[in-house]
Amino acid sequence: MLKSFLLENEIKTRLSRMHETDNLIFDLLLEKIEFNKYLRFKKTTRQMLRKIFSMGIKDGFKDLSCKRIINRINNSSTKKKILFVTGLPTFNLVGISIYLRKTGEFETILLTENPWLVEFFKQYFDAVYVYNSYYDVAHIHITSKPYLTLFTFRERFSITF
C-alpha cells in the first residue's frame, strides 16, 4: 500500500514538471492515468480478459506485473534500449524497429494496449508487453532507464530522452 502511494506521488511529481513545458500533454496524461484504484482495477480486469481471449490463458497471466519488462529494459547489455509506447501499434513502427535492430546497436521493446497482434509484433521487436493500464505505463516509464522512449498515440507524438 505504501509503495503504491509513493509511486503515485512520484508520478504526479514528474507530471508537474511536464505541466511547465506542454500543457496539452499534461492534461491528457492526467485524464488517462488511473489514479483511482477502482478505475485501475476495472481497466486491468478488462485488459486481462482481452489478453486471455487473444493470447491464451498461459500468456494472458504471464505478465500480471510489469517487473519483468522493467528488468528487461534495465538489464546491462551492450545494446541500447529503445522503448516504443503505443495504444494501437502501427506498421510504420515495425519499419523503425527493423532498421534499428539491423544496426546491431539497439534493442527495441514495444509496450502496447492491443493484445490482438502480439504474435505479429514479436517478430519485429525484441520484446512485446501488453500493459493493463496507463498507470502501469507511468510506472514502467519512471522505474526503467531506456536509451530512448517513443510515445505514439492518436492525439500526439512525443519523444523522451
6-42: per-residue pLDDT in tens?
577 777 777 776 667 777 767 777 777 777 778 888 8
Q: Are 136 and 11 in contact (CB under 8 A)?
A: no
Q: What is the CATH number of the domain that holds 24?
A: 3.40.50
Categorize the per-residue pLDDT at 115 as very low, low, confident or very high, splitting at 50, 70 and 90. Answer: confident
Element (H, E) at 132: none
> What is the domain range of residue 106?
2-160
Domain count, the chain: 1
Residue 103, φ and ψ in degrees, nearest 5: -65, -25
Provide the grid cell at 39: 478505475
What's the pTM value of the predicted model, to 2 decimals?
0.77
CA 71/CA 135 separation, integer angstroms: 18
Provide the grid cell at 33: 492515468
